[in-house]
């Protein structure tokens, strides 16, 4: 067992006044299965890049093993090359047979290694890269969000595979993955960094207990400070009144008082002033003990949504639905039946490429057919109806006059300032920024262009734009990719509280279990 030691690590990007990481110190073992967690923008990917030597930094990183990083970089030209031809650039020291052994563990057909990389699905690309990553020896592996864009089946394969390995850091916001795979966690808190044995659930249970204790201690100190301030104020007022009686007195009214009483009054005043000073010192101690108690508590603020109530119960009705793209011989699926009723939260599930996003696209394009009746049955003898490049067979009826709010899984179109984005989308900028802040968006991000945001921050922009748009139906396509655990919990709480009508594509098992009223399996 060897240790990786990080001491006083400090890093900030050029032009950024704030440090991403500041005086970070921790040590980890090279045979751990370590989960790396933290809010979006806290520096998780940056930390992995520092391990790889990508950036210059202050402090030291001492490691007895080489590092390797997932995902490997791909160029446009690489997509046209066979996967086997990319191995030399990714990990020159390995042989093909070593990769094939790992591919077998990942339940992959060896033929995938001899196909153009661009023809592989997201799940196949991820598994090929993981096979290459784990084919080497004497390495500590850095794995950055391996399950984004993967369907449920591919996620299960990756979870089983990683659970059988050791000697890596895994960055992920998937709670089920962290629970199944990790035996230790490294957490980038708001103000501190902690290393703890166990998985996500173990850490979360401990955090809830610790947060509750610190809040109770904070409240106790606040009450004690209040009592001490009241006592100090009373003693101070008494001392001041008493001191004032030393100077001058009425011998008629105070016939029992003599000049010699002056020294007695002064002594009592001095004693009371000493008591006031003691109170002030105790107050300072209480404040000092109170400071820092709440520094790492995640303020998971409640979000609000204003869904519109549609006058019809059924918003979308699909009957014997089939979809295929123009020019394609095979249908994506056929004979699908489902309804989206008012107040339901329907999640589409299935392997990548089965047509989940195409269903969303078909509904949205139906909505764009303004001025036509959209809720009607297609006669069996009619030709299939064409919507853009999608050819629809069967019925897809979308209620007329319905307002839809949409979150796209693609974020590449987000460019320019937030102000410009709000203006183009007709969004209330003040409200937009306020909700972003509740999702732990730093104020310093508001002055940046959106192309400089992290992927998690870009996703939050799309989600917030959807949330503040009153709608009858919310259609979200893989909204949680790159979104941190705490923000996922906020979004879960929001959906459960306000019960909007939703159609989602999402592979996060925990999220789906909590919010879905129905899961439709597409085969």
pLDDT in tens, 188-213: 987 788 999 999 999 999 988 888 87
Whole-angstrom CA distances from 207 to 40, 187, 196, 213, 298 are 19, 11, 11, 10, 10
Is the per-residue pLDDT at 18 higher than 80? no
Positive or negative, the CA dihedral 467, 473, 478, 484 is positive
Which one, of 460, 458, 404, lies nearest residue 435 by Cα?
460
Q: What does CATH list as the number for 314-521?
A: 3.40.50.300
Encode pLDDT of 271-313 as tens digits.
666 666 676 676 666 556 655 555 555 555 567 778 899 999 9
* Backbone angle region of 292, left / alpha / beta, with phi > 0 → left and psi within -120 to 50 → alpha: left
Return the pLDDT at 347: 95
Is the per-residue pLDDT at 30 higher than 70? yes
Helix (H, G, I), strand (E, B) or coil at 384: coil
Return the pLDDT at 503: 96
Q: Domains of the chain: which residue ranges?
A: 3-200, 207-290, 314-521
Encode pLDDT of 141-195 as tens digits.
999 999 988 888 889 999 999 999 999 999 999 999 999 999 999 999 877 889 9
Q: Nearest 5°: CA angle at 51, between 481 and 71?
A: 40
Please enumerate in sequence order all residues whose Cβ is within 8 A of that of 54, keeping only pairs 6 or more positions apart, or say none: none
Q: What is the Cα–Cα distance from 344 to 520, expressed in whole angstroms?
A: 12
| Helix residue ranges, H only, 171-260 | 175-181, 200-244
Is the per-residue pLDDT at 324 higher than 50? yes
Q: How confident is the model at residue 14 (pLDDT cuts 50, 70, 90)?
A: confident
Q: Is it true that 3-200 and 314-521 share their CATH fold? A: yes
Return the pLDDT at 249: 52
Q: What is the Cα–Cα distance from 326 to 428, expressed in whole angstroms?
A: 39
Residue 144 DSSP class: E
Q: Of 256-265, 352-361, 366-375, 473-482, which has the strongest mean pLDDT?
A: 473-482
Q: How confident is the model at residue 444 (pLDDT cuts 50, 70, 90)?
A: confident
Residue 38 phi, psi dihedral angles, 5° rounding: 165, 165
Tokens linked to 491: 């979004």
In a 10 Å sphere around its CB, with 0-12 CB exposed, 13-18 middle and 19+ buried, how is residue 380 labelled? exposed
If one compares 395 and 191, the residue with the highest pLDDT of the two is 395
Which one, of 376, 198, 272, 100, lies nearest residue 206 by Cα?
198
Q: How many CB atoms lie within 10 A of CB 518?
A: 13
Q: How confident is the model at residue 372 (pLDDT cuts 50, 70, 90)?
A: very low
Return the pLDDT at 212: 82
Is the per-residue pLDDT at 479 higher than 60? yes
Encode pLDDT of 408-436 as tens digits.
888 989 999 999 999 999 999 999 998 99
Q: Nearest 5°: CA angle at 96, between 94 and 99?
A: 80
CATH superfamily of 3-200: P-loop containing nucleotide triphosphate hydrolases (3.40.50.300)
44-53, 103-112, 230-239, 455-464: which range is least confident on average? 230-239
Tokens linked to 394: 């069967």
Give CA torsion, residues 27, 176, 463, 467, to 10 deg.
-120
pTM over 0.75: no
Return the pLDDT at 290: 56
CB distance 498 to 470 below 8 Å: no
Return the pLDDT at 221: 66
Return the pLDDT at 381: 39
CB distance 326 to 384 below 8 Å: no
Is the per-residue pLDDT at 519 higher than 80? yes
Residue 145 phi, psi dihedral angles, 5° rounding: 50, 70
Return the pLDDT at 100: 95
Q: What's the residue count for the chain? A: 523
Encode pLDDT of 37-54 as tens digits.
988 878 899 999 999 999
Is the per-residue pLDDT at 74 higher than 80? yes
CB distance 185 to 178 below 8 Å: yes
The tokens 């991403």 sit on which residue? 20
- Long-range contacts of 202-205, Cβ-Cβ distance < 8 Å, separation of 24 or more: 203/37
Q: How many CB atoms lie within 10 A of CB 50?
A: 22
Return the pLDDT at 296: 54
Return the pLDDT at 293: 52
Residue 317 phi, psi dihedral angles, 5° rounding: -135, 120
Q: What is the DSSP string of 56-106?
A: --EEEEE-SSEEEEESPP--TTGGGSBHHHHHHHH-TT--HHHHHHHHHHT
Tokens linked to 344: 């339901």
Q: How confident is the model at residue 261 (pLDDT cuts 50, 70, 90)?
A: low
Positive or negative, the CA dihedral 86, 90, 92, 96 is negative
Q: What is the Cα–Cα distance from 479 to 390, expressed in whole angstroms?
A: 23
Give CA torsion, residues 204, 205, 208, 213, to 10 deg.
-140
In a 10 Å sphere around its CB, with 0-12 CB exposed, 13-18 middle and 19+ buried, how is residue 295 labelled? exposed
Q: How confident is the model at residue 379 (pLDDT cuts 50, 70, 90)?
A: very low
Encode pLDDT of 128-143 as tens digits.
999 999 999 889 999 9
For all residues of the chain together, what is the average pLDDT? Answer: 84
Return the pLDDT at 242: 61
* Residues above pLDDT 70, as percent of the chain: 80
| Helix residue ranges, H only, 291-417 | 356-367
Q: What is the Cα–Cα distance from 347 to 364, expressed in whole angstroms?
A: 16
Q: What is the Cα–Cα distance from 49 to 196, expressed in whole angstroms?
A: 22
């Amino acid at each position: 067992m060897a240790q990786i030691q990080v001491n006083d690590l400090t890093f900030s990007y050029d032009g950024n006044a704030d440090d991403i990481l500041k005086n970070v110190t921790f040590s980890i073992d090279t045979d751990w299965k370590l989960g790396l967690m933290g809010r979006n923008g806290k520096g998780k990917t940056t930390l992995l890049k520092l391990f790889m030597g990508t950036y210059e930094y202050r402090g030291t990183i001492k490691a007895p093993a080489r590092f390797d990083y997932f995902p490997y970089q791909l160029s446009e030209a690489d997509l046209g090359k066979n996967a086997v031809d990319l191995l030399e650039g990714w990990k020159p020291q390995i042989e093909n047979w070593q990769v094939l052994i790992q591919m077998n563990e990942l339940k992959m057909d060896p033929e995938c290694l001899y196909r153009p990389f661009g023809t592989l699905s997201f799940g196949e690309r991820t598994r090929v890269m993981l096979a290459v990553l784990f084919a080497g020896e004497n390495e500590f592996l850095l794995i950055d969000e391996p399950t984004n864009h993967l369907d449920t089946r591919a996620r299960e394969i990756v979870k089983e595979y990683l659970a059988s390995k050791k000697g890596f850091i895994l960055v992920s916001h998937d709670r089920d993955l962290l629970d199944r795979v990790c035996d230790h966690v490294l957490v980038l808190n708001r103000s501190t960094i902690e290393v703890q044995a166990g998985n996500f659930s173990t850490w979360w249970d401990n955090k809830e207990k610790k947060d509750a204790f610190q809040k109770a201690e904070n409240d106790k100190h606040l009450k004690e400070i209040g009592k001490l301030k009241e006592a100090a104020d009373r003693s101070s007022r008494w001392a001041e009144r008493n001191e004032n009686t030393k100077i001058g007195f009425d011998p008629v009214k105070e016939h029992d008082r003599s000049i010699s009483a002056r020294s007695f009054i002064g002594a009592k005043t001095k004693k009371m002033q000493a008591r006031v000073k003691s109170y002030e010192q105790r107050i300072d101690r209480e404040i000092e003990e109170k400071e820092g108690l709440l520094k790492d508590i995640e303020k998971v603020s409640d979000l609000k949504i204003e869904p519109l109530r549609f006058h019809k119960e059924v918003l979308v009705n699909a009957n014997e639905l089939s979809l295929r793209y123009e020019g394609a011989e095979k249908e994506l699926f056929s004979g699908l039946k489902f309804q989206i009723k008012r107040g339901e939260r329907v999640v589409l599930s299935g392997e990548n490429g089965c047509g989940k996003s195409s269903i969303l696209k078909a509904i949205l394009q139906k909505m764009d057919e303004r001025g036509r009746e959209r809720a009607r049955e297609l006669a069996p003898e009619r030709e299939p109806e064409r919507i853009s490049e999608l050819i629809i067979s069967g019925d897809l009826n979308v209620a007329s006059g319905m307002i839809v709010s949409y979150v796209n899984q693609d974020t590449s179109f987000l460019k320019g300032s937030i102000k410009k984005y709000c203006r183009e989308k007709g969004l209330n900028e003040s409200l937009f920024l306020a909700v972003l802040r509740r999702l732990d968006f730093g104020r310093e991000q508001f002055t940046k262009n959106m192309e400089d945001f992290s992927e998690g921050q870009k996703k939050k922009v799309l989600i917030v734009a959807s949330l503040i748009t009153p709608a009858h139906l919310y259609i979200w396509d893989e909204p949680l990719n790159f979104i941190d655990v705490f923000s996922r919990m906020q979004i879960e709480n929001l959906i459960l509280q306000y019960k909007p009508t939703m159609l989602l594509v999402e592979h996060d098992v925990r999220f789906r279990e909590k919010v879905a009223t129905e899961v439709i399996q597409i085969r």
